[in-house]
Amino acid sequence: MPQLSAIASLARPAGKLMAACLLVFLAAALSGAQKQDKASSITTGGIVMNPSLLPVAPSPAETPVNHFETLAFPPALPHPAKRLTVPIFMFHHIGDLPAGADAVRRDLTVSAADFDAQLGYLKSAGYHPVTQTQLFKALFMGVGLPAKPVLITLDDGYLDIFTRALPILVKYDFPATFYIITGKVGTPGYLNWEQIGVMEKDGMDIGSHTVNHLDLSIVSTAVLEHELGDSAKAISAHLGHPVYWFCYPSGGFNTRVLKVEKADGYLLAATERWGDQQSSDAPLALSRYRIRNTTGLEGFKAILRL
């Protein structure tokens, strides 16, 4: 049937023409879509990808801050011993006195105004608060300290050091060390673990002040090991790193305490001994100045002139 063959022969080139037109149309549409999305696309390994398909990295504000640094005593200790003049200030409560406060609470409470004035004086007089790591490196690794170094410590882990002291420390961009009684964490009037984590992210050092704030010089060896070891484990479990800094409750310690303390990995420990001389041959017996409710700004200045 010659008529059908003729029709078929005409249809074949027409079909090719229609297919070619369709391909041109699709290519143009795709090109237009790519141009439209070009501003919101990125190239990865030669492949254009929409950012919505990629994992989103956390912003700087969301990235956890961790200034922890792994440390250890060097194999050979400095000889002769390294001695440094570093005033270490001991605070407890910061804020207002509660109604009916007893003599102990009054003595331990420094007003927020006094604390602000004392830190403001340090700033204006050219003192430089340092971290525990800086002090350790200065004593054992020969790393220099800034001019007029001081170290600020706050004992016990009271709630008001988060609500009242921390904003003032941040205001002056000062680091400090917070010694925590782990058995008190989360109880009324004390910090919780979330707040402790926030303080570390703000550049503060976190140290142990035992589990139950007992005088370590008079407890049994079993209790001593619990107070030192379990407090460090609790802090480590929540912060994700070892604990190197310690503070003796009521300042009580002896050679037995020092032996267990070293075995638990502590590197520096603060006492209640009055003074500003720190030495590499007594890293677990740092001297400090207690700041009292009655110290005020002038008393604080007088301590620095000693």
**Per-residue pLDDT reduced to its tens digit, 25-62:** 444 444 444 444 433 333 333 333 333 333 333 333 33
In this predicted structure, what is the pLDDT of residue 275?
Answer: 97
Q: Name the nearest CA neighbour of 213 among 156, 263, 255, 129.
A: 156
Burial class (CB in 10 A: 0-12, 13-18, 19+), 289: buried
My answer on whether 160 and 240 are in the same domain is yes
Residue 137 falls inside a structural domain: yes
Residue with tokens 């406060």: 101
DSSP per-residue codes, 222-262: HHHHIIIIIHHHHHHHHHSS---EEE-GGG---HHHHHHHH
The partner residues of 128 in beta bridges, in order of sequence, read 149
My answer on whether 156 and 194 are in the same domain is yes
pLDDT in tens for each of the 306 residues of the chain?
444 344 344 334 444 444 444 444 444 444 444 444 433 333 333 333 333 333 333 333 333 445 789 999 999 989 999 999 999 999 999 999 999 999 999 999 999 999 999 999 999 999 999 999 999 999 999 999 999 999 999 999 999 999 999 999 999 999 999 999 999 999 999 999 999 999 999 999 999 999 999 999 999 999 999 999 999 999 999 999 999 999 999 999 999 999 999 999 999 999 999 999 999 999 999 999 999 999 999 999 999 998
Q: Which two tokens stand for residue 69?
A: 């640094």
My answer on whether 158 and 48 are in the same domain is no
Task: State the residue range of the domain holding 43.
Answer: 2-53
My answer on whether 42 and 163 are in the same domain is no
Q: How many structural domains is the chain composed of?
A: 2
My answer on whether 143 and 203 are in the same domain is yes
Residue 197 falls inside a structural domain: yes
My answer on whether 144 and 98 are in the same domain is yes
My answer on whether 37 and 88 are in the same domain is no
My answer on whether 148 and 16 are in the same domain is no
My answer on whether 295 and 229 are in the same domain is yes
What CATH number is associated with residue 98? 3.20.20.370
Tell how far CA 163 is from the center of its chain.
Answer: 17
Residue 60 falls inside a structural domain: no
pLDDT, tens digit, 9 for 90 and up, residues 52-105 = 333 333 333 333 445 789 999 999 989 999 999 999 999 999 999 999 999 999
In this predicted structure, what is the pLDDT of residue 67?
Answer: 74
Residue 69 falls inside a structural domain: no
DSSP 8-state class, residue 158:
B
My answer on whether 40 and 90 are in the same domain is no
My answer on whether 7 and 128 are in the same domain is no
In this predicted structure, what is the pLDDT of residue 205?
Answer: 98
What's the rounded Cα separation, in Å, for the pair 88 and 283?
13
In this predicted structure, what is the pLDDT of residue 46?
Answer: 35
In this predicted structure, what is the pLDDT of residue 112?
Answer: 98
Residue 200 falls inside a structural domain: yes
My answer on whether 110 and 148 are in the same domain is yes
Q: Are 256 and 272 in contact, with CB atoms under 8 Å apart?
A: no
Q: Which two tokens stand for residue 153?
A: 């410590």
The percent of the chain in helix, strand and coil, each rounded to the nearest 5, is 45, 20, 40
Q: Could you say which of 12, 32, 53 is where a domain stops?
A: 53
What's the rounded Cα separation, in Å, for the pair 205 and 161?
13
